[in-house]
Structures are given as C-alpha cells and as structure tokens.
Amino acid sequence: MSAQQFTIDTAGRGRGGTLSRSARASRFWTTGLGLLCLLLALPVIAVVWMAMAESDGAWTHLLDTVLAGYFKNTVLLMAGVAIGTTLLGVPTAWLVTNCRFPGVRVMEWALLLPFAMPAYILAFLYTDILEFAGPVQGALREVFGWQSPRDYWFPQIRSLPGAVIVLSLALYPYVYLLARASLIAQSVCVLEASRTLGCGVWGSVFQVALPLLRPAVAVGVALALMETAADFGTVSFFAVNVFTTGIYKAWLIMYDVPAAARLACMLLVFVLGLILIERWSRRRLRYQHTTGRYRSLATLPLRGGAAGLAVVCCAAPIVLGFLLPATVLLVNALGVIDTDLLAGFWGDAATSLGLGAAAAALVVVVGVILAYGVRLDGSAPVRALARFASLGYALPGSVIAIGILIPFGALDNFVDGLARENLGFGTGLILSGTVAAMLFAYLVRFVAVGYGAVEAGLARIPQSIDGAARLLGERPVSMLCHIHAPIVSGSILTAGLLVFVEVMKELPASIILRPFGVNTLAIRAYEYAIDEQYDEASVWALLIVATVILPVIGLSAAIRRTRPGASGQTGETLRL
C-alpha cells in the first residue's frame, strides 16, 4: 500500500467512490462501537424513559423541601472527596515511585490495601468506634469521669466531614493507582531535560512531573467522584442526606418511580457536566511520549526527618484504611464465628469468585473494544458516545438494576408471547433473573473502570505507531492483537483486577437481579448488617477482604508492567 493511498484511505474513500478495505474496516469498527454503546446505555435509556411518566407529587415535594439541601451535601461531599483522594493518592504515589525510604517496597503495594475494604464496611466500623456510645469515647469518659455529651467536646463522626474522610480512605487507591502508573511511565528524559533547562529538583517536580500527571489524576478522581455520587449505603451510616437519599425516598417510601428516575437523570447530568468541564479545562493540552528510550528511574534517597515524614505519609492511609478496620473486623468476627454461621460459605465464595472473574473478563473485552474503537475513529461523536456508555458508574447500582429489569423483562415477555403464538409453547424468562442479567449490570456499572484504564494505557502509545502499522498493511483487529494489546497488557490486567475487586464488593445490583440460590459474600454480610448484627456481618466482610487481598496486591505488579520499557524486557526473557 503506497503512502498516497494511505492518505486517501483516511479520508474514507478510494478511487471511484468505493470503500477501500481499510476504510471499510474502520467503518465496521465505528458501527460496531455505536451498537455496543447503545447496548451499554440501555439501562440509562430505560431510566430516562421512566422519568417521562407523570410523577405522583414526590417530585415537586422534594424540590420544594429537601432537595436543595441534599444537593448541597452531595456537592460538598464530592468536593471533599476530590481533595481527600488527591491528597492521599498523589503524594504517596510520588514518594513510593521516586524516593527511597524504609519500608518503601512494602508501602508500594500496601497502599492499595484499602481498596480491598468495601466502603460501607469502613463506614459502619468507624461510626461504631467513634460515636458517643462507642469504645473510644466510652474510654475517654471512663478516664476523665465525664458523664454526658455536655461535659466535653469530641468531633461528631456522623457528619459530612466524617463521611468525606472515610470515603476518601476507601477511594484514594484509584488515584494512587493511576498516578503511580503514570509516574512509572514517565520518561526520565523529560525530567532530565527540565533539569538541563534550569529547573531545580522541586522545580522539575512541580513544573513537569505533576502537570504530566494531571490526566491520570483526573481519571482517578473522576472514578472516585462517580462512586461518591452513586453512593447511598456508605453515606447513610453518617446520617448525611445526599442526592441519592432523595432518589431512595421518592422510590421506596413515596412509591413515585418517575420522580426517582428524574432525580437519577439529574445526577447523571451533573456528573457528566463535571467530567466535561474537566476535559474542557485541559482541551489544549496533549501528552504523548516521543521517545522510546526508557531506563530505570533514578530514585531519591531520603534520610532522617524527611524519611520519617515519608513513612508517616504512606503509613497513615494504610493503617486507617486497612490495618485498623481489618483488626476490628477480626476481633468482632472471632467472637461469633462458628460453623453454623459459615454454612454455605464455599458455595457463596465460589459464586462471588465466578461472578467477579466473568465480569472482569467481560469488562476488559468491552473496555478494549471501546477504547480502541475511539482511538481508531477519534471523531467527537464517537468519543461522546463512549463517554455516555460509561456513565453507568455514576448511577447507584440499584438504579442500574431497575434499568436492566425493564428492557430485559419486556424482551423476555415479548419473545415468550411470540413463541406461544407461533410455536405453541412459552420460552419463559430467558434473561431476567439470571446470572446473565447480573453480569450485564456489572458490565454497565464498571465499564468506566475498564475503559478508563485501557484508554490511559493506549494514550501512551504514539499515534505514529498506528500510522506506521497501517502503512505496512495491518488491519484494525490484527493491529490491536499484534501491537496495542501486548503493549498495554499491564493496563488490561489492571482493569481486570480492578473490576474483579469491585464486583466482589458490589451489593445493590446483585441483590435485585440474582436468581434463586445465588448468594454472594457481600449479600451475606448485608443480611446481617441490616439486622444490626454487626459482629456476624464482620465475619462475611472479613471473608470479602480475604478473597480480594491477593488480586489487590496483584494490581501493584500489574501497574509495574504498564511501564513502556517493561514489556520489551518480558520479550527478552520469553525468547530465552
């Protein structure tokens, strides 16, 4: 294929108005991508459809009374979590990547451990420990002889700041992970060039390294914020009423589904707006590495006070986000654990693991197709479509579940009706109430995670490589398999592990969509938690933590592989 023809190809048509092979392939990708996005957006479309119906009055009531306050709380919560996750995630990622201090090898993976702890479990533990009647304040009263809350001041854990701190502890690993992946991939050349241009050590950090981190941090914070916006369970432990409280109130207490659906749409528009503003604010900035030369990152040895500070910085989130809560869970669990309580454990654990693995595989495949399709086409509508399709992460899992029940139920009953009429027998429910529906929910809810991780990986491959490959006659699918996938295998692995862990922790969609006899570890924990039996719930929570801990540690290895120089080394060893 000549260079000239390649140029024509990118314009879409060859000589004589017929589509060339390459352009047909591109068009095929774009069409497929559009259909895929439509499928992923199905629950969101169903929610919009529900919102069209007449509201019974909950809508105007909520607008008139509490909604403004709920919205304000959501905004404050999101702002707090954005700051909290950045402060916890970025400095720690920078320290473990660029500095040497005691324990840094352990911190590197241990900083991901809080990701193993479901946020709602962190919430019930901290509210239980730090409330007035909890052990901490109880001990203080014992020691100082205080009697009532009027005798002393203690920060109120069931408050907005309490929720911000706990959510930040639960969600910062996203920022840490993506910031670290980006730092590892940074070319030393850029930093060295900045030094030769007169930057000091800190100058090169603040003027070069950190600005280069921005897209990664933005993706990490966006994931944390979408999770925050969609959250209901965690925040409810803090007695903070947020936007999702309004959704639940309209839906479950006032039985006004259209009002709940409208609120869910408002939430989506709000989150979408935030993402667009962030993208717009860095619209003129592009980051691509132009050199293929990587060598081991030079690390800065820290001593004395600086080393101590670094240790404290990195240890604090690990202790507060994992070690302390895990210890409390263990103590709680040891008091009640027996074989009766654990009845069904193996079956439920196998279900959870199977669902997690299948969902991870599904999300990774779809995430790769989406991210690669967007890279191939790159036009604004395709980008917007992919963005829209990955909005599921900003919706509460229960809302997604409802958005799946409706189209699946309609389809099943339609097919059943057709079969009855024409074949004389019914087909029943084919998709509704099956594991397939659950997997679809996980796909819709977590595709943002897979898409984000793969997109970030692909962004590090210069477009010039695509150009070169196509010039050499590679078609999109084989280019993906031969070139892109091997280079971003670290990102793919990261996406898979992230989704696996998320699905193991997922609760609301699993409960609504599951068939008879399908229990997950998270559901078992929840059953006890809503009956206010926190010790029994702790046993199951601990089992979730135990099952996801290895994948979480594996994440640390996966992101090491995302370093562009790293895959070449793998090739070397394989050849031997």
Binders of another protein among 115-174, rule CB under 8 A? 127, 131-133, 138, 147-149, 156, 158
Tokens standing for residue 104? 């840094």
Q: How far apart are CA 455 and CA 444, in angstroms?
A: 17
Q: How far apart are CA 152 and CA 362, in angstroms?
A: 54
Using CB under 8 A as the binding rule, whether residue 474 contacts another protein is answered as no
* Cβ-based nearer residue to another protein, 264 or 364: 364
Identity at 446, one-letter amino acid code: F
Q: How far apart are CA 61 and CA 254, in angstroms?
A: 10
Q: Which of 39, 365, 465, 566 binds another protein (CB under 8 A)?
A: 365
Which stretch in 166-174, 217-225, 295-303, 432-440 sits in contact with another protein by CB under 8 A? 432-440
Residue 111 near residue 310, CB atoms below 8 Å? no
Using CB under 8 A as the binding rule, whether residue 473 contacts another protein is answered as no
Residues with Cβ within 8 Å of 63's Cβ and at least 6 positions away in sequence, in order, are: none
Using CB under 8 A as the binding rule, whether residue 278 contacts another protein is answered as no
- Running DSSP on this structure, what letter comes out for residue 298? P
Q: Which of residues 366-395 bind another protein (CB under 8 A)?
A: none
284 phi/psi in degrees, rounded to 5: -95, 0
Identity at 455, one-letter amino acid code: E
- Running DSSP on this structure, what letter comes out for residue 393? G
Maximum separation of any 2 CA atoms in the chain, in Å: 93
Using CB under 8 A as the binding rule, whether residue 565 contacts another protein is answered as no
Interface size with another protein, residues (CB under 8 A): 88
Own/partner long-range contacts of 20-24 (Cβ < 8 Å, ≥24 apart): 21/475, 22/470, 22/475
Which stretch in 262-270, 286-294, 513-521, 552-560 sits in contact with another protein by CB under 8 A? 513-521
* Cβ-based nearer residue to another protein, 20 or 332: 332
Q: Which of 14, 161, 426, 565 binds another protein (CB under 8 A)?
A: 426
Q: How far apart are CA 264 and CA 268, in angstroms?
A: 6
Q: Which of residues 39-58 bind another protein (CB under 8 A)?
A: 56-58
CB of 359 to another protein, least distance (A): 9
Residue 505 near residue 394, CB atoms below 8 Å? no
Q: How far apart are CA 135 and CA 147, in angstroms?
A: 15
* Cβ-based nearer residue to another protein, 5 or 156: 156
Which stretch in 86-94, 250-258, 381-389, 447-455 sits in contact with another protein by CB under 8 A? 250-258
Residue 259 near residue 250, CB atoms below 8 Å? yes
Using CB under 8 A as the binding rule, whether residue 481 contacts another protein is answered as yes
Instruction: Please work out, in degrees rounded to the nearest 5, the angle formed at the alpha carbon of residue 51 by the alpha carbons of 45 and 55.
Output: 165
The residue whose two tokens read 């031997």 is 576
Using CB under 8 A as the binding rule, whether residue 354 contacts another protein is answered as yes
* Cβ-based nearer residue to another protein, 378 or 486: 486
Which stretch in 174-182, 252-260, 293-301, 498-506 sits in contact with another protein by CB under 8 A? 252-260
- SS3 percent helix, strand, coil of the chain, rounded to 5, is 80, 0, 20
CB of 280 to another protein, least distance (A): 36
CB of 215 to another protein, least distance (A): 26
Q: How far apart are CA 375 and CA 360, in angstroms?
A: 22
Beta bridge partners of 301: 100
The Cβ of residue 494 has, within 10 Å, a number of other Cβ atoms equal to: 30
* Cβ-based nearer residue to another protein, 58 or 82: 58
* Cβ-based nearer residue to another protein, 189 or 239: 239
Using CB under 8 A as the binding rule, whether residue 62 contacts another protein is answered as yes
Q: Which of residues 392-411 bind another protein (CB under 8 A)?
A: 398, 401-402, 405-406, 408-410
* Cβ-based nearer residue to another protein, 324 or 485: 485
Residue 495 near residue 364, CB atoms below 8 Å? yes
CB of 152 to another protein, least distance (A): 12
CB of 175 to another protein, least distance (A): 28
Q: Which of 23, 188, 297, 361 binds another protein (CB under 8 A)?
A: 361
CA quadruple 329, 331, 334, 340: dihedral sign: negative
* Cβ-based nearer residue to another protein, 289 or 484: 484
CB of 193 to another protein, least distance (A): 29
Using CB under 8 A as the binding rule, whether residue 292 contacts another protein is answered as no
Residues with Cβ within 8 Å of 468's Cβ and at least 6 positions away in sequence, in order, are: none
CB of 149 to another protein, least distance (A): 6
Q: Which of residues 489-508 bind another protein (CB under 8 A)?
A: 489, 508
Using CB under 8 A as the binding rule, whether residue 66 contacts another protein is answered as yes
Q: What value does the CA radius of gyration of the chain take, rounded to a whole number of Å?
A: 25
Which stretch in 98-106, 293-301, 356-364, 373-381 sits in contact with another protein by CB under 8 A? 356-364
Q: How far apart are CA 512 and CA 535, in angstroms?
A: 25
Using CB under 8 A as the binding rule, whether residue 570 contacts another protein is answered as yes
CB of 231 to another protein, least distance (A): 15
Q: Which of 48, 315, 436, 461 binds another protein (CB under 8 A)?
A: 436
The residue whose two tokens read 């479990």 is 121
> Crossing angle, helix 397-423 and helix 257-281, to 10 degrees?
120
Q: Which of 91, 188, 214, 535 binds another protein (CB under 8 A)?
A: 535
Using CB under 8 A as the binding rule, whether residue 435 contacts another protein is answered as yes
Question: Residues in the chain, how many?
Answer: 576
Residue 326 near residue 545, CB atoms below 8 Å? yes
Using CB under 8 A as the binding rule, whether residue 36 contacts another protein is answered as no
Using CB under 8 A as the binding rule, whether residue 106 contacts another protein is answered as no
Q: Which of 32, 308, 428, 473 binds another protein (CB under 8 A)?
A: 428
Site mask for another protein (CB under 8 A), range 194-233, x = bound: ----------------------------------------
Instruction: Please work out, in degrees rounded to the nearest 5, the angle formed at the alpha carbon of residue 557 by the alpha carbons of 551 and 558.
Output: 80
The Cβ of residue 115 has, within 10 Å, a number of other Cβ atoms equal to: 26
Using CB under 8 A as the binding rule, whether residue 269 contacts another protein is answered as no
Using CB under 8 A as the binding rule, whether residue 241 contacts another protein is answered as yes
